Amino acid sequence: MKIELRSQYPAKLIGLPGGMLELSWKVFGAKAGETQTAYEIQSALDSEFTVELKSDQAKSSNSQFIKAPHIPSVSREISFHRVRIETQSGWSDWSETFTHETGLLNGEELIGHAIGDESKATDPAALLRTTFTVTKPVAKARLYATAHGTYDVMINGAKAGDHILAPGWTPYQHRLLVDSHDVTNHLVEGENAFGVLLTDGWYRGKMSFFNLTDNYGEHTSFLGQIEIDYEDGTREVIASDSNWKTATGGVRFASIYDGTTMDFTMAQPAWCKPGFDDSAWSPVTLRKISKSVLEPLSAPPVRVKAELPMTLRQEADRVNLDGTQNISGWVRLTVDGKRGDKVVVRHAEILLPNKTLHTAPLRGAKATDTYILGKDGVQDLEPKHTFHGFQYADVITDAKVIKAVAIAITSDNEDRGVFKSSHQLLNKLHSNVLWSLYDNYVSIPTDCPQRDERLGWTGDAQAFIYAANTLVNENAFFRSWLKDLALEQHENGKVPHVVPDVLELQYPRLPHGNPFPDNGAAGWGDAAVVIPWAQYQSFGDVEILRNQLHSMRGWVDFFSAQCVDNVFADGQMQLGDWLDPDAPEDKPFLAKVSSRFVASVYIAQSARLLAKSEELVGTKDNAAKYHKLADDVAQATWNLLGAEARKSTSGCSLTLEFNICPESEREAVASELAALVRKDKGAISTGFLGTPVIMDAMSRNGHFEEAYSMLLREEIRSWLYPITVGATTIWERWEAIKPDGSVSDGGIGGETEGTEPGMISFNHYAYGAVIDWVYRNVAGLTSLAPGYEQVSIAPRPTKSIEWAKASIETGYGEYGIDWKLDGSKLHAKVTVPFGVQAKLNLPVSQGSTILVNGEAKLNGEVLGHGVFDIDVTHAHVVSK
């Protein structure tokens, strides 16, 4: 038996927060029928467990988010943890040892000063440097660093760590993250150089469609230190302080939206190496970073996800590059040129029919990297501290372009879901959704990666959360972002549209103030409730509910207070079922279903989820109060707006999925929904809020035929149509490119001073929410209890799909299926991890028999862990 142990934090991070350490384990190699009857966890301060701190034994089958007996509360502490379990065969051996290292738990332990230069926004990047001498053998060395701005720490010429755009984007006035790295191997005996490249980043750079700089402050600065523990037991700290020096180098400009300008004739190549003469450099300027808002990084940082070779096409005046995948990142270009040659790289998501870059949708984001070569010959070029949303790029230069690689970045969440089937377009849809996730999870969950937004739109994150949970393990990522959501929540409970709320910082600087006055938006503010609940469902993480409970209550109380007679008050500006394809192009909030209905049913739904959360981690009285609120709002809304709602697909779908109508009317509403879908031949007619629920609204109420007709439709207004015209990610609008090749100009926008028109991105994940349905219904991998502790085996085959193979890496291990149809016989190989019970829910018809490993079984019977061969005769196959 082998036991794998992990904590709530990403595996590769050190320098983590103190406080409760939650351990989860996977068990491999247990015998059939064996279950966990007890566990024992040991914590120690040495890897041999000779100095045992504490141990805990419990008669329990639980294995997820279990508190370690030792609660790390000391900075820099390395603690060791292991678990063993008791089964019917007795106690197992100890698991492999899990190591946890805390960072600096008190911001004051960063003993230095924040340092910067005299630059203003858009000025050349600051280089900062100091040197120090190592004279004795080093046991270990750590770097702790943060900044107002984005930074790279360079030690002796090499970058410390692989984090990109550190310290990431948080509401810096409330919370600023400190990255920690093991830099032991960077140090050399003798002189060492400690350098920092510091740019505007999210802190001072241009942000939002208002394209304003200096959002969090006018000065960038760096705060950090290298701590060296010598073998003789002494410690030395080299911290940022007034002794450092500053200058500028080759990075003349770096902006997240606009790209970089790098002039290598001005570079100081050895600036971060020992022995460099910095006598011409200036003293640094001392700045202020509040140490009380510092906190160790606890979520995956942005890292490189993939390197995709690009094809080169020579045009008359430029070379066009195609990475074959829409990504977030940049181009690594290899050119052969002469000192002084200029190289300009522009980026776009698509080519127009005349094969030129379509840059209009980027609006205020210039997305252009410019280089001046500093030497003759072959050289690699890469920008600094920027990213672009693109598949194509143009290079204009006198130098010869030899090679180009698209570097894709993402917040480094572990992959979780794998899906393949005999249906090529469906496979591509899966890939497109996954790429939209990678491209849009860049430090925070964003709306799109290319134009002058890339903001943490709460509604987009909410609409997509269940799909995200199935595709990747982003629990730590969302724990961190939800913390920011709560910090940005107004005192009255209002949740901003974007988190971090950079818009709120900009409004006072706009001549017109806030042009979008709002009282919170249904489906957007509800991220405060829906996301914690989704994390609990998908990971079994109760702690996230505990952490967010106050924020959840705040939103529900605030938003529901706007009801009159238990229905959301009329006449308020709402985003509604945003981007309903039948809404006017320039008024995406004018969906078929009224925004009043949408707001009311979201109140009912969030009140319900909050009530359930109260049952788990809150109070009984609150649970009863919010259940009653949910009931009252559902009933009043149905009475007042039900007739109107059932005329639209989103109205019916939200009614069914949020339990708005009385039980007695469900069947009728579902039939009306199915009829609407049949009438439109499966064409999609829902926006951001209807789309994530429509497939379940059909399939859970017996309308699989219509559900599949929608899923597999290839004509315009469908998930698969964009693929037929080349999409590699999910579009913002269903009709972004028409069958005749014409491209939507994105209607809305530009009316407000300072903004540019057009809202058309080819990389918005909201509509990709459907992929969760695909896992649960096409593959048949469905969770029945939080964290997949109980699952069902429930494929719903259709004639158009001969086989499907999928797996989800749950906290217990891999839960997978590989099924194929042979006429009306279904054969499936199913993997159920240890600790999980799987209920049979196979697609039977009259006369079906079910064999599991050759033994007759019935639907509803439960399997333990193992690998099972399942055969179903006379399987029910949907005829689409």
The residues that touch ligand BGC, with contacts defined as CB under 6 A, are 447-448, 453, 457, 459-460, 575, 578, 759, 764
CB of 631 to ligand BGC, least distance (A): 30
Q: Taking CB positions, which residue lies at the least distance from ligand BGC?
A: 447
Q: How many CB atoms lie within 10 A of CB 148?
A: 28
Task: Please give the structure tokens belonging to residue 340.
Answer: 């002084």
Q: Do the Cβ atoms of 606 and 527 come closer than 8 Å?
A: no
Q: Do the Cβ atoms of 413 and 325 come closer than 8 Å?
A: no
> What CA–CA distance (Å, rounded) separates 445 from 410?
10
CB of 622 to ligand BGC, least distance (A): 30
Cβ-based nearer residue to ligand BGC, 759 or 828: 759
CB of 764 to ligand BGC, least distance (A): 6
Cβ-based nearer residue to ligand BGC, 460 or 577: 460
> What CA–CA distance (Å, rounded) separates 546 from 683?
41
Q: Do the Cβ atoms of 384 and 152 come closer than 8 Å?
A: yes
CB of 845 to ligand BGC, least distance (A): 43
Q: Do the Cβ atoms of 459 and 576 come closer than 8 Å?
A: no
- The phi, psi pair for 585, rounded to 5°, reads -55, -35
Q: Do the Cβ atoms of 20 and 66 come closer than 8 Å?
A: no
Cβ-based nearer residue to ligand BGC, 170 or 208: 208
Q: How many helices (H) and strands (E) in the chain?
A: 15, 48
> Which residue type does 794 have?
A
> Which residue type does 175 have?
R
CB of 759 to ligand BGC, least distance (A): 6
- CA distances 805 to 557, 764, 800, 818, Å, are 44, 26, 15, 4
Cβ-based nearer residue to ligand BGC, 179 or 452: 452
> What CA–CA distance (Å, rounded) separates 362 from 347?
9
Residue 203: which residues within 8 A CB-CB, separation 6 or more?
147, 148, 149, 150, 172, 215, 216, 217, 220
DSSP string, 616-654: HHS-HHHHHHHHHHHHHHHHHHHHHHHHHHTTSHHHHHH
CB of 619 to ligand BGC, least distance (A): 33
Residue 823: which residues within 8 A CB-CB, separation 6 or more?
none
Question: For helices 704-711 and 663-679, what crossing angle results, to 10°?
Answer: 40
Cβ-based nearer residue to ligand BGC, 457 or 719: 457
CB of 747 to ligand BGC, least distance (A): 12
706 is catalytic: no
Q: Is 370 left (phi over 0), alpha (psi -120 to 50) or beta?
A: beta
End-to-end alpha carbon distance in the chain: 45
Cβ-based nearer residue to ligand BGC, 503 or 563: 503
756 is catalytic: no
Report DSSP state, residue 775. I
Provide the strand spans (E) within 476-578. Answer: 563-564, 567-568
Which of the following is catalytic: 295, 349, 453, 614?
453
Residue 108: which residues within 8 A CB-CB, separation 6 or more?
291
Q: Is 704 left (phi over 0), alpha (psi -120 to 50) or beta?
A: alpha
Q: Where are the alpha helices (DSSP H) in 383-457?
A: 424-440
- Angle of CA points 480, 481, 483, to nearest 5°: 65
Cβ-based nearer residue to ligand BGC, 168 or 523: 523
Cβ-based nearer residue to ligand BGC, 183 or 482: 482
Q: Do the Cβ atoms of 85 and 71 come closer than 8 Å?
A: no
Cβ-based nearer residue to ligand BGC, 396 or 590: 590
Cβ-based nearer residue to ligand BGC, 534 or 656: 534
Peptide bond into 500 cis (omega under 30): yes
> What CA–CA distance (Å, rounded) separates 580 from 317?
41
The residue among 159, 193, 186 whose CA lies nearest residue 272 is 193
Cβ-based nearer residue to ligand BGC, 401 or 502: 502
- CA distances 87 to 59, 60, 732, Å, are 11, 11, 51
CB of 444 to ligand BGC, least distance (A): 13
Cβ-based nearer residue to ligand BGC, 65 or 209: 209
DSSP string, 245-314: EEEE-SEEEEETTTEEEEEGGG--TTTTSTT---TTSEEPEEE---GGGEEE--SPPEEEEEEEE-EEEE
Cβ-based nearer residue to ligand BGC, 538 or 761: 761
**Reduced to 3 DSSP states, what percent helix, strand and coil does the chain have, rounded to the nearest 5?**
25, 30, 45
CB of 743 to ligand BGC, least distance (A): 17
- Angle of CA points 475, 480, 482, to nearest 5°: 90
Which of the following is catalytic: 227, 732, 789, 809?
732
> Which residue type does 836 have?
V
CB of 550 to ligand BGC, least distance (A): 25
CB of 526 to ligand BGC, least distance (A): 13
Q: Do the Cβ atoms of 231 and 214 come closer than 8 Å?
A: no
Active site residues: 453, 732
